[in-house]
């Protein structure tokens, strides 16, 4: 291969996932940052699969969460415009653009019924019908799940820094 070796899951996490999610942490109301963070967080599973881990099987064993499904929905919806979510009953349907801005709970910005008390950052959410799922929190939960179950393959990925 000209140019070097294929990236490992650990390298992808360190060089691509962590900085991208950190950028989203610093720009929580940005649709662009939200979509990119979901894409790289979800695609980490492909890198793990290439190292012999069946992430989908592991997720079935460990249980899938709304957080992981939110990341999958935004990633797939951003990539294909529409994610109808019909593959599994707990998939969250999402079409690019259906996410919404959640203003921080600050004077002059707070929106009753949308802002969350104590939230000084605001954010992007999906799935209003589920009570709203914060995309940043969903990405962080997905990364925490990866780290917990595949720590040996993600040894240098500092997901806490995100």
89 pLDDT above the threshold of 70: no
DSSP code string of 48-89: HHHTT--HHHHHHHH---HHHHHHHHHHHHHHHSEE---SST
On the question of pLDDT at 19 being above 90, the answer is yes
Domain segments of the chain as ranges: 9-98+132-161
How confident is the model at residue 51, as a pLDDT? Answer: 92
How far apart are alpha carbons 20 and 72 in whole angstroms? 16
Angle at alpha carbon of residue 65, lines to 61 and 66, rounded to 5°: 155
List, for residues 109-159, the tens digit of each pLDDT value: 999 988 899 999 999 999 877 788 999 999 999 999 899 889 999 999 999
User: What are 25's two structure tokens?
Assistant: 């942490």
Residue count (the chain): 162
Mean pLDDT confidence for 66-84? 86
Q: Is 49 exposed, middle or buried (0-12, 13-18, 19+ CB in 10 A)?
A: middle
**Does 73 score more than 70 pLDDT?**
yes
């Amino acid at each position: 291969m000209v140019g070097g070796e294929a990236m490992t899951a650990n390298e992808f996490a360190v060089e691509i996932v962590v900085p991208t999610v950190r950028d989203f942490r610093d720009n929580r109301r940005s649709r662009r940052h939200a979509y990119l963070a979901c894409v790289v967080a979800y695609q980490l599973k492909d890198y793990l699969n290439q190292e012999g881990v069946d992430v989908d099987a592991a997720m079935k064993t460990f249980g899938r969460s709304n957080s992981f499904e939110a990341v999958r929905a935004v990633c797939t919806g951003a990539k294909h415009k529409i994610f109808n979510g019909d593959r599994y009953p707990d998939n969250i349907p999402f079409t690019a653009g259906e996410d919404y801005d959640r203003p921080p709970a600050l004077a002059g910005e707070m929106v009753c019924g949308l802002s969350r008390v104590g939230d000084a950052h605001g954010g992007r959410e999906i799935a209003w019908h589920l009570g709203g799922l914060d995309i940043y929190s969903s990405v962080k939960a997905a990364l925490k799940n990866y780290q917990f179950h595949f720590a040996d393959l993600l040894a240098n990925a500092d997901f806490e820094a995100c």
